[in-house]
Amino acid sequence: MMKSFVFLMLALLMPLTSVADQPEMSDKEYEEFLGKSPFNKMYPKSIAPGAAEYFGTFNSLFTDGPIESKEARLVAVSASAAMRCEYCITAQVHLAKKAGATDDEIKAAIQIAAEVARFSILLYGNEFGQDELKKILKIEE
């Protein structure tokens, strides 16, 4: 578990460390950059272009990724609900509907997140253990 966490953190930090070497923008360039997207103001000036580029690349998963757009948005709705991110829910529900998701599909995505969390709490709280779960699921290592 700890190895997975460390790997995830390194993977998440990689895009930001690769943009740290970029030359800083002039004030004029920065003002133009801010005008391109309302989200650009979230980034420190020193990494803003690279961070915005990464954000754009990441978002291509919703249009050009291996999962169809509607299903990808439903995954994002589910993750947003699990994280209890009100900003994410607002955006992802709206974008899921634009991608063709119905209210019932959105409710199902949220219900799935709730059930995964509920069952996780039951397993963890009862000290169920990975070995027992793998035995039940017939997972061989």
Quick: pLDDT tens for 96-127: 999 999 999 999 999 999 999 999 999 999 99
pLDDT for 4 beyond 60 = no
pLDDT attached to residue 8: 42
Is 87 in the same domain as 52?
no
pLDDT for 9 beyond 70 = no
d(CA 118, CA 81) in angstroms, rounded, equals 13
Is 78 in the same domain as 28?
no
pLDDT attached to residue 54: 95
pLDDT for 13 beyond 60 = no
pLDDT for 7 beyond 90 = no
Question: Left, alpha or beta for 100 (phi > 0: left; psi -120 to 50: alpha)?
Answer: left
Alpha helices in 1-141 (DSSP H): 2-19, 27-36, 48-59, 61-64, 69-83, 86-98, 103-125, 130-137
Last residue of a domain, one of 28, 59, 90: 59
Q: 20-56: per-residue pLDDT in tens? A: 556 778 889 999 999 999 999 999 999 999 999 999 9
Q: Binning pLDDT at 50, 70 and 90, where does residue 19 land?
A: very low
Taking the complete model, does pTM exceed 0.85, yes or no?
A: no
Is 54 in the same domain as 29?
yes
Domain of 122: which CATH number?
1.20.1290
Residue range of the domain that includes 21: 1-59
Cβ count within 10 A of residue 51: 18
pLDDT attached to residue 44: 93
pLDDT attached to residue 103: 98
Q: 55-77: per-residue pLDDT in tens? A: 999 999 999 999 999 999 999 99
Is 50 in the same domain as 81?
no
